Structure 1
Amino acid sequence: MLLTTLALALVAALPAALTAPEPAQARPQSPPRAPTGTTARLTRTADDLTLTVPPSRSAPGYRLQVTTGQLSFTTLRSGGTVLATASGDTGALRFRTAGTWHHATRVTGHAWKDGTLTLTADTTAPGATIEARVTPSADRYQLRWRVIGATPERLGLACDLSSAGHWYGHGETQTPNGGPATDQPWPLDSGEVVHPAFGPASYYMIDPFWYTSRATGLHVDTGQVMDVSLNEGQDGLGRFDIESAEPYRATVFVESTPLDVYRDYVDLVGRPAKSDATYRQYAEPVWNSWAQFYTHVDQAKLLDYAQDLHDHGITGHALQLDDKWESDYGNMTFDPKAYPDPKAMSDTIHALGFDFGLWVTLWINLDSDQYRYAADHGYLLKDAADPAEPCTVTWWNGTAGIVDLGNPEARAWYEGRLRTLMDTYGVDGLKFDTRFFDERCAPHEGYRPTDYQRLGAELADEYDLQGVGIRVHWDTAAHRAGFVTRQLDKGTGWNSLRASVTQNLAISTIGYPFVATDMIGGSSLQPAPAKEVLVRWAQSAALMPLMYSSTSPVDTVDPTTGRPVVYDEETVALYREAIARHQRLAPYIWDQVQHSLRTGDPIMRPLFFDFPEDRDTYTIGDEWMLGPAVLAAPQLADASSRSVHLPPGTWYDVAHQRTVAGGRTLTSYATPLGTTPVFVRLGAEGADKALRALR
C-alpha cells in the first residue's frame, strides 16, 4: 500500500505536459574496450588440448577444450559447457569440394607459440588437411582455418545449438514458415532458419553475428555470401558456411551475460556516431503511401489521404509518396498524367503540417529514357560475367541497371538529379529503396562488394530519410551511420504483427538500435488489415523507438479486391491515442537515443538484457524493455487477455494504476481493445519521465 501511495504521489506531482527537449546530438563517448591481453596456458591429456584463460576484472574467464581424436571445440565457463561444435559425420570444421562435404578428423600436430595455438588435422578428403589457429584473449578467442591440398568451394563451421542454450542475432530470417514476412523465430532455435543467400548485398537486414543465452557469441568475419541454417529440419545444428575458398575467420565471445556479448560485438563493429532521425521524427509517425495505395496512387489520391489524416487529428511529421510516381523507373520525373502539378501537391502537403518525402532507387529500368544515357557514360555497375556490358537485374518493377556508387562521376550525376528533384518540388527527404549492389554485378575497380554498403550509407547520409529507415548492414559504416532501420514488408495478419516484434528484437541486438516495424498494419499486397490488427499494431509501435504508418485508420483500399475499406470512429480514436502516447514518451525515448550514442546499447531489447538471472525471460518474444524503465507487453493476438511476465523489481501497472511486485507472471491480464499492458520499473533511470508520459 505504501509503495502504491508513493507511486501515485509521484505521478500526481509530475507536470501534465512536458516540453520537448532540443534535438541536439549527444557527444558520443568511447566505451571501455574489452581487454585483449591474456595469460592463457595450454595443458594436454591423451584425448584433448585445453586452453585456460583466467578470470579478470572485466571478463569471467573460460576454458577451450580441443578434442584430438576428431577435431572439435568445446568452450566452458565456470565448469559448464557454453558452446560446442558439432561432432560425428557433420564435423566441426567442414568444407565442400567437388560437390561433396568433408570435415576435419584426427589432430596430427599442434604448437603453442606467441599466444596462438596452431593445429593440423587430417580430413575425410584424401590428400587434404586442415590448419587451424586459435588466438585467445580475455573475453573471446579468434579462430582462423584453411584447407591445404584441396580447393574448397565452401568452408563451414557447425555448432551444437543446445550446447549454448538459446540462440539469437542474425537479423531478418528466411524460414520455411514464411519468414521474414510472417515468421521470425525467437529464440532462433525455437523454429527453423534456412538462409542460403545470407550476404552483404542482401535486401535483408542481417549481420553475421549470433549470441546465446549462455553468454557466448559468434561473429564470422567475411565479405562473402554465406549459407546459414539453424535447426533446419529440427536437426539441432547451426551451420555457418561461406561460399569461398579463402581462410575462415571467426570470433567467439565468452562473457557473463548476453548484454556483455552484445557490447563486445558493438565494440568490434562500431556504435552509431549520431542519430539520423530528429527529435520530431522520433515523436511523431511518418506516413507513407505504399500500403495505402501500392502503385495505384496519383496526385488526387495522395492529397485526399493527407487531408483525411489532418481532418481527423491524426498527426505525423512527414507524408511520403512511395512507388509509383515516376514516368518510368529511373527517370526521376513525375508522370504528368498522374501528377499534373507536383509542386502544388507538395505545397498543399506542407500547408497541412507535413514534410513531403519521395521514394527513390538507384535502379534504372531498361525502358527508362535515362538507362541508355547512364549505360553509355559508364554510370552503371558492370556484369560480373561480362564486364564489357552493364549488369542487369530483375526486381519487382522490371529489369534494371544499378548506378555504380564506386564511380565518382556516376555518383555525382545521380546526386545532381536528386538535388534538382528536391529543389524543384520542395521535397524534404527521401526513402531509399532496393539495394546498392547485386552479386551478379562486378564492383568498380578498387572496390569489393562489401564496400557498397559503405557507399550506400554515405550516399543516404546526405539526405533526410525522414525517420522511415533504410536497410544497410554488414559494414561498420552501416552501424555508425545511425540510420533508422525499417523491416522487410510484413503481411497484414496477427502472425506478421508478432513477427514485427521479434524481428525488431533481432535487428536491434545486432547493432542497429533505431528500429521501426514495417508499416503499421502490414502490407505485402495482402487484404487490408482488420480493425483489431491495425489498432493493436499501432499500440505496439507506440512503445517502440519510432512509428512508421501507412494504412489510414479512416479508410483504405483492399488491394486484393480493389474495394474501399472504411474503419469506424473507434479505430480512428484508438490509433490517435496510440500516437499521442508515443508523443508523450518522446522525451524518454530521446534520452534512450542519447544513451545509445554513448554506449551502443539497444533501445528496444529483450527482457533478459536487463534481467539476465531471470531464466523465464529467455523465451519471451511478446514483451520487451523500452530503455531501462518501460516494459511493453501489448496484445499481439486475437484475444481478450494475455499473460504478462514481470521480472524482479517493483513495477507500476499503468493500465490499472497500481504498484505490483515482480518476479512473477500475471495470468489472464485483461486486454480489451483500448488497453495495452505497459509497466514502469520504479527506481530505474528515466522512470519519472516514463511515469509522466504514461500516467
Structure 2
Amino acid sequence: MLLAVLAAALALPAVALAPPQNAQAQDARTRPRPATAAPQLSHSATELTVKVPRSRNAPGYEVHLTKAQLSLRTTRSGATVLSTAAPDTGALRFRTAGAWQHATQVTGWSWKKGVLTVTAATTAPGATVRARLTPAADRYQLDWQVTGVTPERLGLAYDLKSAGHWYGHGEAQTPNGGPGTDQPWPLDSGQVVHPAFGPASYYMIDPFWYTSTATGLRVGTGHVMDVAINQGKDGLGRFDIESADPYRATVYVESTPLDVYRDYVGTVGRPAKSDATYRQYAEPVWNSWAQFYTHVDQAKLLGYAQDLHDHGVTGHALQLDDKWESDYGNMTFDPKAYPDPKAMSRKIHDLGFDFGLWVTLWINLDSDQYRYAADHGYLLADAADPAVPCKVTWWNGTAGIVDLGNPDAKAWYEGRLKSLMDTYGVDGLKFDTRFFDERCAPHEGYQPTDYQRLGAQLADQYDLQGVGIRVHWSGAAHRAGFVTRQVDKGTGFDSLRASVTQNLAISTIGYPFVTTDMIGGSSGRPAPTKEVLVRWAQSAALMPLMYSSTSPVSTVDVTTGRKVVYDAETTALYREAIGRHARLAPYIWDQVQHTLKTGDPIMRPLFFDFPQDKAAYTITDEWMLGPTVLAAPQLTSAPTRPVHLPPGRWYDVTHHRTVPGNRTILAYPTPLNTTPTFVKLGTKETEKALKAFR
C-alpha cells in the first residue's frame, strides 16, 4: 500500500563586512552577499535612513536612526522587522557607577564609503556614544563604544514584539526551571533570565538569536553576557556584555528564518565532518548514569549489560559514567568496586557493545594526582593570584582544571588517557564538565574563548560514542561536527517537552547533530514512569541520535533506593522505538551528508521548511526531521493530541493513508503504542522515508 501511495503522489562591490571567522567553510549561499547597488543614505530633521536595495539573493532593507534619541528601526518592504527599545529603556545602554545610562540625542554624523558614523549624547554627564553602522546586502554591522567614562557593561535592548517571535540562544535559564524542566519556544513565550551567559558556561549556548520576521542578532564577544528575554514579562530583549570593550553586533535581514540561519552558519562555519559514525546514528548508546548514578560497580554494570542483551534491547556502546575512579582525577579504577576491570571490559565486548568511560579534566584536591599536577604547573592558575592553581567547586568536590593551553599539561593528560584506554580496552570517552572556568586565568597567549577550541581539539582525537560533548561559542566548536547532548533533565513530562524545544534551540544555533538528555531523564529525580520512559524513547527515535540510560527492563529509584521493574510492554515498546530509529538510519544518514554540504539542521522547526505557515511559529511539540519526516509524538499523558500539518500532501504512517496539509487535526488518538508521524509526499527523500515506516 505504501508503494501505491508513493506512486500516486509522484504521478501528481558593494560595502562588505569584515571577513567572517571561517571563510573557507562558506559557500556562495552563506557568505555575506554584496548589494547589486550601493547602499544609500538619506536624512531629514528627525531621522537618518540607510537604504540597502533589493538584490538577486537578498530582500533589501532600511535602517532608520532617530536623531532626537538614538534608536534603530529596521524595515523590509516598508514593514518594521526589528526595533530597539523605547526611549525610557534606551537602545544603546551602558552601566557606570552601578547605574544604567543610555544614548540620547545624535550630536553628529558622517557618511563615508558606505559607512554611517554617529555620535550621541548620553544620560551620563561627560559620556558620549560613538556608533558605526556598516551595511551589506543581507546584514549590517553595528559597532559602538562609550567615551568619557569607563563603563562596567554595554548593552543593546530590543522591543521583542517588533520582530515577532524570538528563537536561538541555546539552553536557556528561566525562572520556571530552565533548562532542566523548561525551555520556552519561542523564547518570548516565557522568560529567559541568563546572567552568566558566556563562553565558559556548561550550557550549550551561542550569542545568536533570530526572529519570525527573518531578522537575526549575533553579538561578537568573548566576554560573559547578561541576557534577559521578556524578564518579568517586560516585552524586552536585553543583551548586555560585562566589558567596556566596543560592542560588536551583526544584524541579519533576510526573507525567511532559514535564510538567517544560513547567514549565521556562514559566519561561524558549518560542520566539516560528523563525529558520529553511521552505527552511532542507527543504534542507541547506553550510559550508566541515570540507571545507577554514582552507586555503580562492576557487578551492577555487567548485570545491566546482560539484562539489555537478554531482552533484545540493542545498542552500539555501553558507557560507565561517573564514579569509577578511586578519586576524581586519578584515572585508576576503584579496586573495591571494580576488582577486575579488564574482565569487565571483555564481557561488555562479548555482549556486542563497545566499552566507554566518563572522564574529566577536573582533578580533585584529594586525588593523588593533584599535587603532581600542581607542582608541575599543569593546572589553570587562579585569576586573582596566578601564582597558585585555580580551585573550582563542582558536584563532586573541589578541584583544579588541567590547563590545555600548556602543551606539557596537555601531553601529560593525553598520555594518561591513552594508557588507560589501552590497558582496559576502552573504545571511547564521554568528556564531562568544562574546559575552563571564569575564576581561572588562561595560559599565557590564550583567551578564555580559546579553551572551547582547545577542548574541541582534544576531544576530536577520541571516539565520543554518540554522546558527544558540550563545547560551544567558538567557530571551532561548530566546525568540529560533534554530537551535542543536552544538560541533565528531570524525569517528568515537563522535562521531555523541554528536551524537544531545547533540541530545536541547539540545532538552530549551528549544532545540528543533536540528542536529548538520557532517555527518561536523570537529575537525581524519581525513576521515570512507564509512560514517560516510553514516550521519551518514541520521541528520541525521531531525532538524529538516541542516548539511553534507564533500562526499560528495570532500574533503581535513586530517591528511595528501591528497584523499579517495568512490565513487558515497556520493554517491547522501547525496543520498537529502537527498531524504528534503526530503519530511519539510511534517511538520517542522508541528512547528515546534506548538513555537511549546507550546514542546515537535521531536526528543525516546521517554519524552517514552511515559512509562510503562520501556525508553525508557535508549535512546541512537532518538528521536521529533514525535509520529509514530520514528527508529532505524544509528550503528555493525554489520550489525544492536536497535530498541525503544513501545506502539502502527507502520508499518515499510523493509519496508512494520505491526508491533506494546511490544517490541524484537533484530536489525533495517541494510545501508548502510537507515535504520530507523517511523511511529506513528493520530495526526493519520500521513497526512502516511506520504506523506513513499513
* 1:620 equivalent in structure 2: 619
C-alpha distance 5-344 of structure 1, shift in aligned 2 (>3 A): closer
CA distance in 1, matches of 2:245, 2:457: 28
Distance 2:92 2:324 in 1: 51
Taking the aligned partners of 1:90 and 1:628, their CA distance within structure 2 comes to 42
Which deviations, in whole Å up to 9, do the C-alpha atoms of 1:91-113 show, x marking residues without a partner?
00000001000000000000000
Q: In the alignment, residue 56 of structure 1 is paired with which amino acid?
A: S
Q: 1:6 aligns with which of 4, 26, 29?
A: 4
Q: Is the 8 A contact 1:31 1:598 kept in 2?
A: no
After superposition, the C-alpha distances for 1:597-647 in whole angstroms (9 at most, x for unaligned) are 000000000000000000000000100000000000000001110000000
Which residue identity lines up with residue 467 of structure 1 in the other structure?
A: G
Partner of 1:17: none
- SS where residue 195 of structure 1 aligns? strand
State the Cα distance separating 1:6 from its structure 2 match.
3.3
Q: Are residue 102 (structure 1) and residue 118 (structure 2) matched?
A: no
Name the residue aligned to 1:134.
133
**For residue 151 of structure 1, what is the aligned residue in structure 2?**
150
CA distance in 2, matches of 1:557, 1:28: 47
Match for residue 92 of structure 2?
Answer: 93
Shift of 1:46: 1.0
Whole-angstrom distance in 2 between the partners of 1:685 and 1:209? 31
- Preserved CA contact (<8 Å) 1:200 1:473: yes
The residue aligned with 1:84 is: 83
Shift of 1:596: 0.3
Deviation at 1:450, TM superposition (A): 0.2
1:471 pairs with 2:441: no
Residue 57 of structure 1: aligned partner = 56
Return the alpha-carbon distance in structure 1 between the equivalents of residues 2 and 364 of structure 2.
63
Unaligned runs of 5+ in 2: 10-23
Is the CA contact 2:6–2:681 (under 8 Å) kept in the aligned structure 1?
A: no
Give the alignment partner of residue 30 of structure 1, picking from 24, 27, 31.
27
Q: Give the equivalent residue in structure 2 for 1:368.
A: 367
Q: Which residue of 2 aligns with 1:16?
A: none
Which amino acid counterpart does residue 163 of structure 1 have in structure 2? S
- Which residue number corresponds to residue 392 of structure 1? 391
Q: Secondary structure at the match of 2:630?
A: strand
State the shift of 1:31 in Å. 4.6
Q: Give the equivalent residue in structure 2 for 1:690.
A: 689
Deviation at 1:28, TM superposition (A): 8.4
Name the SS of the counterpart of 2:560 in structure 1: coil
Give the Å deviation of 1:9: 6.0
Tell me, in whole angstroms, the C-alpha distance in 2 between the residues paired with 1:100 and 1:667: 51
Aligned to 2:241: 242
Give the match's secondary structure for 1:143: strand
1:255 is the counterpart of 2:263:
no
Give SS of 1:333's match: coil
User: Cα deviation per residue 1:505-527 (whole Å; 9 max; x = unaligned)?
Assistant: 00000000000000000000000
**Alignment partner, residue 352 of structure 2:** 353
Aligned counterparts, 1:72-221, within 5 A:
72-221=71-220
Contact 1:28–1:597 (8 Å) recurs in 2? no
- Cα distance between partner residues in 1 of 2:141 and 2:340: 60
Match of 1:677 in 2: 676
Deviations 1:263-305 (A, max 9, x none): 0000000000000000000000000000000000000000000
Aligned equivalent of 2:496? 497
- Residue pairs, 1:501-580, within 5 angstroms: 501-580=500-579
Residues 267-666 of structure 1 aligned to structure 2 (within 5 Å): 267-666=266-665
1:4 shift after superposition: 8.3
Residues in 2 aligned to 1:292 and 1:684: alpha-carbon distance in whole angstroms? 41
Q: 2:17 maps to what in 1?
A: none
For residues 46-68 of structure 1, the C-alpha deviation after alignment (integer angstroms, 9 at most, x for no partner) is: 11000000000000000000011
Partner Cα distance (1:8, 1:190) in 2: 39
User: What's the TM-score once normalised by structure 1's chain length?
Assistant: 0.97
Q: What does residue 21 of structure 1 align with?
A: none
The alpha-carbon distance between structure 1 residues 92 and 286, as it changes in their structure 2 partners (threshold 3 A), is same
- Measured after TM superposition, the shift of residue 30 of structure 1 is 3.5
Q: Which amino acid aligns with 1:35?
A: R
Q: Secondary structure at the match of 2:506?
A: helix
Which SS does the other structure have where 1:131 is aligned? strand
For the residues of structure 1 that align with 2:615 and 2:86, how far apart are their CA atoms?
Answer: 30
Q: What SS does the aligned partner of 1:471 have?
A: coil
Q: Is the 8 A contact 1:215 1:256 kept in 2?
A: yes
Verify the 8 A CA contact 2:308 2:314 in the aligned structure 1: yes
CA shift, 1:34, in A, is: 3.0
Q: Which residue of 2 aligns with 1:14?
A: none
Give the CA deviation at 1:459. 0.1
Offset from partner CA, 1:24-45 (integer Å, 9 cap, x none): xxx9883532313551100011
Report the residue type matching 2:137 in the other structure.
Answer: A
Report if aligned partners of 1:82, 1:164 keep a CA contact under 8 Å in 2.
Answer: yes
Distance, in Å, in 2 between the alignment partners of 1:34 and 1:694 is 40
CA contact (8 A) 1:31 1:599 kept: no
State whether residues 628 and 685 of structure 1, in contact with CA within 8 Å, keep that contact through their aligned partners in structure 2: no
Separation of aligned partners in 2, 1:187 and 1:499: 12
Q: Per-residue displacement from partner, 1:190-225 (whole Å, max 9, x unpaired)?
A: 000000000000000000000000000000000000
Deviations 1:82-133 (A, max 9, x none): 0000022210000000100000000000000011100000000001010000
The question of whether the paired residues in 2 share the 8 Å contact of 1:154 and 1:245 is answered with yes
Q: How far, CA to CA, are the matches of 2:430 and 2:4 in structure 1?
A: 46
> 1:309–1:5: structure 2 CA closer, same or farther, 3 Å change rule?
closer
CA distance in 2, matches of 1:478, 1:105: 39
Separation in 2 of the partners of 1:308 and 1:471?
30
Are the counterparts in 1 of residues 2 and 690 from structure 2 also a CA contact under 8 Å?
no
Give the AA of the match of 2:94: F
| RMSD, matched Cα | 1.2
> Equivalents in 2 of 1:694, 1:306: separation in Å?
29
Match of 1:506, as an amino acid? A
Which residue identity lines up with residue 560 of structure 1 in the other structure?
T
AA aligned to 1:142 is Q
Equivalent AA in structure 2 for residue 599 of structure 1: T
Tell me by how many angstroms 1:78 deviates.
0.7
TM-score, length-normalised on structure 2? Answer: 0.97
The percentage of counterpart residues that share the same residue type is 79
- Partners of 2:106 and 2:34 lie apart in 1 by 28
Letter in 1 for 2:5: A
| 1:8–1:264 distance in 2 versus 1, CA, 3 Å | closer
What secondary structure sits across from 1:596 in the alignment?
Answer: helix
SS in 1 for 2:584: helix
Q: Which amino acid counterpart does residue 227 of structure 2 have in structure 1?
A: V
TM-fit CA distance, 1:667: 1.1
Tell me, yes or no, if the aligned pair for 2:32 and 2:136 is still in contact at 8 Å. no
Aligned-partner Cα distance in 2 for 1:34–1:86: 27
Residue 449 of structure 1 aligns to a residue whose secondary structure is coil
State the 1:687 CA deviation: 1.0
Distance 1:303 1:60 in 2: 60
For 1:24, the equivalent position in structure 2 comes to none
**Is contact 1:642–1:670 with CA below 8 Å preserved after alignment?**
yes
SS in 2 for 1:156: strand
CA distance in 2, matches of 1:371, 1:430: 21
